[in-house]
Amino acid sequence: MVNHQKAFDEIHRLIGDRLSQKQSDRDQHAQSETWHRAPPPDAVAWPETTAEVSRILEICNRHRCPVIGWGTGTSLEGHALATQGGLVLDVMRMNRVLELRPEDMLAIVQPGVTREALNTDLRATGLFFPIDPGANASLGGMAATRASGTMAVRYGTMRDAVLALEVVLADGTVIRTGTKAAKSSAGYDLTALMVGSEGTLGIITELTLRLHGQPEDSAAAVCAFGNMRDAVDCVAMTMQSGIPMARIEFMDAVAMRAVNRNSGTDYPEQPHLMVEFNGSPDGVRANAAAFGEIAAECGGQGFQWASSPEDRHRLWEARHAAYWATLKLRPGATGVVTDVCVPMSELPGAVEAAAAAMAEAGLLGNIVGHVGDGNFHTLMLVEPGNQEELSRAKKAADAMARRAIEVGGTVSGEHGIGVGKRGLMQEQHGAAWAVMASIKAALDPHNILNPGKLVPDRDGASDTGLA
């Protein structure tokens, strides 16, 4: 391991005790929500301004010290693990909402602002920020991973929400991408390039975000189906009918069992759809009725409606808790998590194939997803340190990803690549993966920004994950 102490000494002189090499601080920044593990970073820094980020990157670039951006640490594919040591740059002290512009329906924030904190600030404006990945993630991290969530079927992903960015490049140069205008055709779309780059091209220090009006009325419901195919067929028929869904979520029988045990609910332990409708009161009623007819045709039963804000909140809290609830089905287990996204016409077959792959692996797990846009997730429970179980789970996850590629989909619709799916990038992108590597080399010639992630290594190697 290269000794980066000279870089750390310079950074300490710049920000004082906001640079730490304490084992406890390093260990806190070596965690992953899933099975991915790596040694802790050599140091952690907490900048508070763009100028500090710029100076830190200039120092690290000069000393060839890796820099890994860190938000809330909720990513699922090992995005923020220091696989080659170096410095973790924790931006959570850059947590100010800089400007709200209700008349333009936008907000300007620092990267450490969380989505919940932004929506709290927006309460009096009649606007909200709709991208909801489940975790109370930092907005900078959500942009870096091109996050999505339960409401993407109506409001899109971070790709659609980010209008402009301030980004610090590897050598400390500060650039601004995009504008406050609703659209632009002036040159390369550098904003889109940075959104989803997973910290490999720059560190995001400011975001201009598109907001939406709070709906006049909302209603949510949950309904059970006799089997998984009927539930997923209902999703496809609903989307083809043009009903404007705010959310349409799938949860399999294992996920419902976990939710019941975790939340004290008594849903039938069968596949379910959870749906939400937004709009005018008349529009909500009409859309709900139209969906009810399709669900009945597909065998849906036991509708439970949630119209009050409290009931809707409980419903979606249960959905968002599905990951942690399922982990409790096997105490002490860790999760091998994956997601894929396929064209809607391929969704029923892809979900059935995923269930078959999990059954063949012989592991307890669930399937849930934002199925309104063809995106679903699986979680398989493995014993920490059990390499044989881990191998079975990874084989099943790879089979799901490869099937998604075969039918014109993607190996990830939401989680991103990190280290966990880098081994699949060549199969999905072919020669375009090398183009990504060329962009990385142009913007980060010394490969200090989150090395070992997303793009091929400079020697052509690529990891498929870390234990």
Question: Which of 209, 205, 238, 206 lies closest to 221 in space, CA to CA?
Answer: 238
What span, in angstroms and rounded, lies between the C-alpha atoms of 351 and 353? 5
CA 299, CA 233: separation in Å to the nearest integer?
10
188 vs 62: CA distance, rounded Å? 28
Query: What is the DSSP code (8-state) at residue 332?
Result: T
Q: CA geometry: angle at 423 spanning 418 and 424, to 5°?
A: 95
- In 3D space, the residue among 86, 274, 91, 281 whose CA is nearest the CA of residue 167 turns out to be 91
Beta bridge partners of 334: 382
CATH number for the segment(s) 1-214: 3.30.465.10
Q: How far apart, in whole angstroms, are the C-alpha atoms of residue 68 and residue 87?
A: 6
pLDDT digits (tens, 9 = 90+) for 224-238: 999 999 999 999 999
CATH 3.30.70.2740 domain residues, the chain: 330-416
Region(s) of the chain under CATH 3.30.465.10: 1-214
Share of the chain above pLDDT 70, in %: 98
| Structure letter (DSSP) for residue 360 | H
The torsion angles phi and psi of 431, rounded to 5 degrees, stand at: -65, -20
Alpha-helical (H) ranges within 107-211 are 115-121, 139-144, 152-155, 158-161, 190-194
Query: How high is the mean pLDDT of the chain?
Result: 93
Listed in sequence order, the residues at least 6 apart from 149 whose beta carbon sits closer than 8 Å to its beta carbon are 131, 132, 133, 134, 157, 370, 414
Q: Is the pLDDT of residue 463 over 70?
A: no
Q: What's the rounded Cα separation, in Å, for the pair 229 and 52? A: 53
pLDDT category of residue 464 using cuts at 50, 70 and 90: very low
Please check whether the domain covering 330-416 is classified as CATH 3.30.70.2740: yes
Helix, coil or strand: residue 217? strand
Per DSSP, the three-state class of 184 is: coil
Question: Minimal CA–CA distance to 267: which of 247, 245, 252, 277?
Answer: 252
- pLDDT at position 134 is 79
DSSP state of 80: T
pTM of the model: 0.92
164 has a pLDDT exceeding 60: yes
pLDDT higher than 70, residue 412: yes
Which pLDDT does position 1 carry in this prediction? Answer: 53
Identify the pLDDT of residue 318.
83
H helices of 29-184, in order, are 50-63, 115-121, 139-144, 152-155, 158-161
**Residue 285, helix vs strand vs coil:** helix
Main-chain phi, psi angles of 219, to 5 degrees: -150, 145
User: DSSP of 21-50, one letter per residue?
Assistant: --HHHHHHTS--SSS---PPPSEEE---SH
Distance CA 284, CA 30 (A): 45
Contact 209, 234 (CB under 8 A): no
Query: For the domain bounded by 217-319, which CATH number is listed?
Result: 3.30.70.2190
* Token pair of 329 as six digits: 């089905």
Question: Residue 75 carries which side chain, given as an amino acid letter?
Answer: S
Mean pLDDT for 331-358 is 93
67 is written with which tokens? Answer: 């820099």
